Amino acid sequence: MFAGVVRINRAKQELKHEVSEYGFHCHTQKVVNASATALRIACKGKASEHLMERPQKIIRTALQETNSEQNGAVTHQDVNNFRAAVYRERCKKYGRLPKTLHETLATLRSMPLSTHRKEDMLMLCEEINGKGLVIFTTKLNLQTQRFVPLIQF
């Protein structure tokens, strides 16, 4: 608590010094790059439609599809902002990824994983000796593999 008060007082003193030295205090206006804003919106739209594509590919295709004269005004910081916008857009729809093994197993157990034939796809999802064991298969797949002869090379 005390350190926060000291920082606030120090910031006030620096502001008073700046005002007394230069006469005023103001923030410079940000210049909004219209082409970067249009590209960011395009990337966000593609991110929600094309889930399996990497953000880098989405950004690259959006840059290629736009006018090459406008791309000269796009900076490295703009590309980083596009990547963050793609990530935020995907998080709105699908949430965050689990961070721990326990969270991952709990998420897998709660998800309805099934095939187009409505067969249960998650056969086993357990934590054994601190390690996760997940088996994605169906009962029909296991029965089929049991009768297939072993192929040797």
Domain ranges in the chain are: 34-91, 101-147
What gap in Å lies between CA 151 and CA 141, rounded to an integer?
17
- In which region does residue 65 sit, left (phi positive, over 0), alpha (psi from -120 to 50) or beta (all else)? alpha
Query: Packing angle between helix 34-49 and helix 76-94, nearest 10 degrees?
Result: 30
Residue 39 near residue 74, CB atoms below 8 Å: yes
Task: Evaluate if pTM is beyond 0.75.
Answer: no
Q: pLDDT tens digits, the chain, 153 residues: what are they?
A: 444 444 555 656 665 655 565 555 565 555 567 778 888 888 888 888 888 888 899 888 888 887 656 556 788 888 898 899 998 888 887 777 788 888 888 888 888 888 888 888 888 888 888 888 888 888 888 888 887 777 666
User: What are the tens digits of pLDDT across the range 65-88?
Assistant: 876 565 567 888 888 988 999 988
